[in-house]
Amino acid sequence: MSQSSSRTFLFLDEVGDQGIGKHSSDFYIITVAVTTRDGLKYLTPQLARLRYFLDATKEFKDHYKGRAVQNKTLDLLSYIADIEDFHAFSFYLNKHNFTGPYLHKTESESTHNPPRFRNFTIRIALEILYKNLASHFDNPEMELVIDRFLTKPDEEINLRAYLNNNYNLPYFLHITQVDSQYCDPIQFTDLLGTITKCGVFESDEKKAKTGLKNLSLFCIDDPDAPKEKDPDTL
């Protein structure tokens, strides 16, 4: 990250749900876009370009439909990925293969606990991210910006305490919830999650997997042994 940047921003969103059963997704994805104050200067016009191309009056992901649009969007992503102060990570799990806590009933866990499952997977994702980018985090001010999916006040308080009391993570000066409708970086992060869903779980097409090359991709089916994945081998 640039030494001149005074703050690092982590934009985090999820794709899928925390449930189990026939009405729930088979997958859960956490995607994080990392940039700095300097990086935002370059990211913002690229996102404006993406919005113009998609003619996006709604969120980016709502316009990611049709072969031509998807191909052009993936081409634009390569420009964004080349921004010096920008990194994108996607962490995915198949619920049927997940060995971590809070999702399945086990001997040690008597009930499925969606809030704890979400917090746990966010923590695992951020620990992997920080381990891979630790040498880049030269800014003492770090802010985590998440989509507004925590609906209860105590959920936000619990997540903040859970992350900031973890010695494997840096201290987050702010953990802020925003509505994705007015925050393009969160919409973009959600779009990266959609691209992960398409490339990992829904499509065998080469072009769909090409978009994953702009991400650092990790499978966290076993949170004790996360695996970095090459899109070409999926």
Q: Are 35 and 9 in contact (CB under 8 A)?
A: yes
Q: How far apart are CA 180 and CA 59, in angstroms?
A: 8
Neighbours of 85 (CB within 10 A): 21
Strands of 142-147's sheet, edge to edge?
Answer: 174-178, 142-147, 8-16, 27-36, 86-94, 216-219, 227-228
Give the tens place of pLDDT for each residue, 115-135.
999 999 999 999 999 998 876
Q: 3 falls in which pLDDT band (50, 70, 90)?
A: very low
Domains and CATH numbers, the chain: 8-233 (3.30.420.10)
More confident residue, 53 or 140: 53
Q: How far apart are CA 213 and CA 229, in angstroms?
A: 10
pLDDT at residue number 76: 75
- Among residues 220, 230, 216, 232, the alpha carbon closest in space to that of 97 is found at 220
Q: Are 189 and 31 in contact (CB under 8 A)?
A: yes
Give the tens place of pLDDT for each residue, 185-224.
999 999 899 989 988 998 766 666 777 888 999 999 999 9
